[in-house]
């Protein structure tokens, strides 16, 4: 939803979908304006030049593989066992979550991106190309051309891109790694009440994380 907002602001046309049906997205579409419409997941998949998959990881096998064939699919998903339930291969580190997504979308080109920044900073830290306080985000994928496409989208939406390798390498931006979420946020003061913490989360500007810092953080990841 936040990505759709950034995309519309960048002049792109977006087609949104969810599991409950296009009519449930009417308010959001109205708010986004003429560059947005809603459709079923199959229709949205077919409509997109680039498709962003942002659903709970536990539902990844519901992504419409046939409709997504030959497309570049940006996977923003993360694995949280408490939320997603245990997914075979992920707790052992045998596979990255994006490798599972790629296996399901065998005829698509999966690029992992946007997974390591929280939705609030995603919108407030976006900056035009060349801005001194622009942040960078890691991306990973097995298809070089798809990564170029994804990097172009990042650029249009307000971010530099750092290619961190293949989907196998994408563990370096998964939850718990140095580049995951925290560097993009200011340090939260101690002792906040629940309401204060919520206000802090929504009102505190992000911290710019430039290309070189992303590279350092990604290199510092350990398993
Ligand atoms: N939130 C963040 O700040 C953030 C940041 C980085 C990465 N991520 C990752 O992005 C993924 C989504 O996170 P989220 O916070 O956006 O979760 P979410 O709000 O629970 O889900 C996002 C959307 O997915 C739709 N959806 C759920 N199941 C679906 C299905 N089977 N088919 C089609 N649409 C479906 C939901 O709508 P319906 O329920 O109406 O279908 C909802 O609009 C997660 O893996 C998360 O870790 C989130």
Which atom number of ligand 1 is nearest to the Cα of residue 59? 31
Residues 97-148 have pLDDT tens digits of 999 999 999 999 999 999 999 999 999 999 999 999 999 999 999 999 999 9
| Ligand 1 contact, 55 CB (< 6 A) | yes
Structure tokens at 196: 């204060």
The answer to whether the CB of 39 falls within 8 A of the CB of 14 is no
Structure tokens at 63: 């992504």
Sorted by where each starts, the structural domains of the chain and their CATH numbers stand as 49-219 (3.40.50.720)
Mean pLDDT of successive 10-residue stretches along the chain, which has 223 residues: 94 97 97 97 96 98 98 98 94 95 98 98 97 98 98 98 98 98 97 97 97 98 94
Which atom number of ligand 1 is nearest to the Cα of residue 19? 41
Q: Taking the C-alpha atoms of 44, 4, 37 and 69 in order, what is their torsion angle to the nearest 10 degrees? A: -10
Identify which of 4, 14, 18 to mutate to test ligand 1's pocket (most ligand atoms within 8 A of the CB). 18
Cα 59 to ligand 1 centre (Å)? 9
The answer to whether the CB of 164 falls within 8 A of the CB of 172 is yes
**Helices marked H in the chain:** 2-9, 26-32, 41-47, 81-84, 97-104, 119-124, 144-157, 194-203, 211-219
């Amino acid at each position: 939803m936040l990505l759709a907002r950034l995309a519309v602001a960048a002049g792109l046309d977006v087609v949104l979908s969810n599991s409950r049906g296009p009519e449930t997205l009417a308010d959001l579409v109205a708010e986004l304006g003429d560059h947005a419409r809603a459709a079923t997941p199959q229709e949205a998949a077919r409509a997109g030049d680039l498709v962003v998959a942002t659903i709970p990881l536990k539902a990844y096998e519901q992504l419409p593989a046939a409709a997504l064939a030959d497309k570049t699919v940006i996977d923003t998903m993360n694995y949280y066992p408490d939320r997603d339930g245990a997914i075979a291969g992920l707790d052992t580190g045998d596979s990255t979550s994006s490798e599972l997504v790629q296996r399901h979308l065998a005829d698509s080109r999966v690029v992992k991106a946007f997974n390591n920044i929280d939705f609030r900073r995603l919108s407030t830290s976006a900056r035009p190309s060349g801005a001194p306080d622009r942040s960078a985000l890691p991306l990973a994928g097995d298809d070089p051309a798809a990564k170029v496409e994804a990097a172009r989208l990042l650029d249009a939406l307000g971010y530099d891109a750092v290619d961190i390798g293949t989907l196998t390498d994408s563990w370096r931006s998964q939850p718990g790694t140095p580049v995951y979420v925290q560097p993009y946020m200011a340090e939260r003061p101690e002792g906040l009440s629940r309401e204060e913490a919520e206000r802090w989360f929504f009102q505190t500007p992000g911290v710019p994380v430039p290309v070189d810092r992303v590279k350092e953080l990604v290199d510092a990841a350990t398993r």
